[in-house]
């Protein structure tokens, strides 16, 4: 990767880990407060640190890491960024940075304790929303630079399929651009005018609907870069090859198509949406599971073929041939394994009747700590072990590799404790997003306390794992010995079939995506505007 592109990618990743460090402290604090183990000083409150934790981890850490990672891979696979792409990358970084600073400042001032989902009726300072908007616009500008790099490559290589890494990044960005239109509309037309006092009321149901139009694809925006590493980087790390270029591209196209028109599965218990539309969103949710099943199939195939190439025998002999002592493989692999129960949990959530049991309980928090905070985050850690030294011109040393394996184990055991307790407590009916309370010493709530303690043990382990990761990151950034670390990009199998060209005809896929979105959201939004729920403002003021 050209040095200037590497520095830019690194600038994103540094901010990501900075946010991660502060987010981890906020996470520990909110866990201890909720469990009744500490009390906060008067100038701080539970919802404030919960918001800081959610925003810094789920929105800032992920977004900066993802953009930085994709910039590096696009530069690597398309032959370096043009001046336009490079400039767009830096302008995007600056906008995202200032947006984040505004968001964090308003949270610290206790002017924005609106949680990471920030939809109405919770209201923040307008500067929080303006900061969030800047963060998003920054990603758009950076995305324009990446789109341009991709186009340039295709123009210079007519008739060829684009490099898989670049294709997958573009699919992720396409999904992101379509999804963020929803939250941008919510912020611009509802939340900013309302928080400035220009309008007295907002349509709360519409605000939630626009948020979840964005909120579900947001989780795939986190997942897809992890999948990029699974499909493109892991095979190379384990000495294997890409299993199927076509399957990988198909999985990404399906994610683009099906991950947007599904937002009502977050609103299944909401009275303002009719069950017919919820039913359509549930069906589409089950469709969006398919690309993840394709991914599971593909990963098993990669592991088996790589293992057999190394002489593995029998049905499961390949398992022992995998490089378990290499943290670049180990961390994402644990993430993959955890994605099996995490995905099952998602399917439970999506099933209407079972959603009635788990919705708004701490089960949901357990679900997303397994998905994003384990499968995705362990993969991001796994990427960092090679990406940071590759970008800084350093080496991942043997002892840091070993430390990385310990880090992965601490994180995973912490998560098993914490997320396990959360799933179980959810089934007992423990609500999510509540400050410490014993519900006036109700017997049932007092019975939850031992599980809170299990959660706290898990949380403490996660904090230790998080700080260890920060330490390793700083070492790889500044102190590791100089050298060359490989940027792993897998090659195709030798006699692989040609990928059908239709998989790269974006016009077709964008049209299908638009049709599905119109089908799933067109009428419900029209209906809400025509017949606002009691208490909502009429159409002209939203």
What is the set of active-site residues?
216, 220, 367-369, 432-433
Of residues 87 and 433, the one with the C-beta less far from ligand HAS: 433
The answer to the question of residue 339 lying near ligand HAS (CB under 6 A) is yes
**Residue 303: which of 288, 285, 322, 290 has the closest Cα?**
322
Q: CA of 143: how far to CAs of 63, 208, 255, 446, 511, in Å?
A: 12, 26, 18, 50, 20
Q: Can residue 223 be called a binding residue for ligand HAS (CB under 6 A)?
A: yes
Is residue 288 involved in binding ligand HAS (CB under 6 A)? yes
Nearest to ligand HAS of 13, 288 (CB atom): 288
Interaction between residue 372 and ligand HAS (CB under 6 A): yes
By CB under 6 A, the residues from 94 to 123 that bind ligand HAS are 117
Name the minimum Å distance from CB 203 to ligand HAS.
20
HEC readout, 64-117: HHHHHHHHHHHHHHHCCCCHHHHHHHHHHHHHHHHHHHHHHHHHHCCCCCCCCC
- Least gap, CB of 540 to ligand HAS (angstroms): 31
Is 355 an interacting residue with respect to ligand HAS (CB under 6 A)?
A: yes
Q: In the complex, what is the shortest distance from the CB of residue 20 to ligand HAS, in angstroms, rounded to a whole number?
A: 16
- Applying the rule CB under 6 A, the residues between 478 and 537 that interact with ligand HAS are none
289 makes contact with ligand HAS (CB under 6 A) = yes
- Chosen residue from 37, 108, 293, 539 binding ligand HAS by CB under 6 A: 293
Distance CA 322, CA 342 (A): 23
Pick one of 167, 176, 222, 463: the residue that binds ligand HAS (CB under 6 A). Answer: 222
Q: Which of 345, 352, 366 is nearest to 269 (CA)?
A: 352
Query: Does 349 sit near ligand HAS (CB under 6 A)?
Result: yes
Minimum gap (Å) between residue 440 Cβ and ligand HAS:
27
Number of residues that bind ligand HAS (CB under 6 A): 33
Is residue 445 a contact partner of residue 362, using CB atoms and an 8 Å limit? no
Residues forming a β-bridge with 361: 431
Residue from the set 76, 249, 265, 423 that interacts with ligand HAS by CB under 6 A: 265
| Token representation of residue 79 | 């032959």
**Given the complex with ligand HAS, which of 336 and 503 has the nearer CB atom?**
336
Instruction: Round to whole Å and give the CA distance between 87 and 80.
Output: 13
Query: Looking at 48, 63, 203, 295, which residue binds ligand HAS (CB under 6 A)?
Result: 295
CB of 427 to ligand HAS, least distance (A): 13
Examine residue 336 and tell whether it contacts ligand HAS (CB under 6 A). yes
Work out whether the CA dihedral 405, 410, 416, 419 comes out positive or negative. negative
What single string gives the DSSP state of each residue in 118-165? Answer: --TTS---HHHHHHHHHHHHHHHHHHHHHHHHHHHHHHHSTTSPPPHH
Residue nearest to ligand HAS (CB): 343
Phi and psi, residue 198, nearest 5° = -70, -30
Residue 41 Cβ vs ligand HAS, minimum distance, rounded to whole Å? 27
Subset of 135-194 contacting ligand HAS (CB under 6 A): none
The CA-atom distances, in angstroms, between 379 and each of 199, 288, 385, 538 are 44, 21, 10, 46
Terminal CA-CA length for the chain: 48
CA 351-211-114 angle, to 5 degrees, is 110
30 binds ligand HAS (CB under 6 A): no
Binding site for ligand HAS (CB under 6 A): 117, 219, 222-223, 265-266, 285, 288-289, 292-293, 295-296, 299-300, 319, 336-337, 339-340, 343, 346-347, 349-350, 355, 359, 364, 367-368, 371-372, 376
């Amino acid at each position: 990767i050209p040095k200037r592109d590497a520095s830019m990618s690194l600038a994103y990743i540094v901010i990501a880990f900075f946010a991660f460090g502060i987010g981890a402290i906020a996470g520990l604090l909110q866990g201890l407060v909720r469990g009744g183990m500490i009390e906060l000083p008067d100038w701080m409150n539970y919802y404030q640190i919960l918001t800081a934790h959610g925003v810094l981890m789920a929105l800032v850490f992920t977004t900066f890491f993802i953009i930085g990672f994709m910039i590096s891979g696009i530069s690597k696979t398309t032959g370096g960024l043009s001046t336009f792409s490079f400039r767009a990358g830096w302008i995007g970084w600056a906008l995202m940075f200032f947006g984040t600073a505004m968001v964090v400042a308003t949270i610290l001032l206790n002017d924005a304790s609106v949680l990471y989902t920030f939809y109405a009726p919770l209201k923040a300072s307008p500067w929080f929303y303006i900061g969030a908007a800047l963060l998003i616009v920054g990603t758009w500008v950076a995305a324009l630079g990446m789109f341009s790099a991709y186009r340039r490559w295709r123009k210079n290589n007519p008739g060829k399929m684009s490099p898989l890494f670049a294709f997958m990044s573009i699919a992720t960005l396409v999904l992101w651009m379509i999804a963020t239109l929803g939250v941008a509309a919510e912020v611009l037309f509802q939340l900013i005018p309302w928080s400035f006092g220009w309008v007295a009321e907002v349509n709360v149901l519409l605000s939630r609907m626009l948020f979840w139009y964005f909120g579900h694809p947001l989780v795939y925006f986190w997942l897809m870069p992890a999948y990029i590493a699974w499909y493109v980087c892991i095979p190379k790390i384990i000495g294997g090859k890409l299993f199927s270029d076509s399957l990988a591209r198909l999985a990404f196209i399906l994610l683009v198509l099906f991950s947007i028109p599904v937002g009502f599965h977050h609103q299944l218990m909401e009275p303002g949406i009719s069950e017919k539309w919820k039913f359509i969103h549930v069906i589409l949710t089950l469709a969006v599971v398919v690309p993840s099943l394709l991914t599971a199939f593909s990963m098993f195939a990669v592991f088996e073929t790589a293992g057999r190439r190394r002489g593995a025998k029998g049905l499961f002999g390949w398992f022992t041939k995998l490089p378990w002592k290499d943290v670049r493989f180990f961390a994402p692999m644990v993430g993959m394994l955890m994605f099996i129960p995490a995905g099952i949990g998602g399917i439970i959530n999506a099933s209407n009747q079972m959603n009635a049991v788990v919705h708004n309980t701490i089960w949901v928090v357990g679900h997303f700590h397994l998905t994003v905070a384990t499968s995705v985050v362990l993969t991001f850690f796994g990427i960092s072990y090679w990406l940071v030294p590759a970008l800084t011109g350093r080496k991942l040393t043997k002892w840091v590799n070993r430390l990385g394996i310990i880090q992965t184990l601490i994180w995973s055991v912490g998560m098993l404790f914490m997320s396990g307790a959360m799933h179980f407590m959810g089934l007992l009916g423990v609500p999510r997003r509540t400050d410490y309370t014993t519900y006036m010493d109700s017997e049932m709530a007092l019975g939850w306390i031992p599980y809170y303690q299990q959660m706290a043990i898990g949380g403490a382990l996660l904090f230790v794992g998080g700080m260890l990761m920060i330490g390793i990151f700083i070492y790889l950034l500044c102190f590791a010995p100089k050298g060359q670390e490989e940027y792993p990009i897998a090659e195709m199998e030798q006699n692989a079939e040609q990928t059908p060209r239709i998989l790269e005809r974006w016009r077709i896929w964008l049209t299908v995506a638009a049709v599905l979105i119109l089908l799933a959201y067109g009428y419900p939004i029209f209906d809400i505007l025509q017949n606002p729920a009691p208490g909502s403002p009429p159409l002209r003021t939203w």
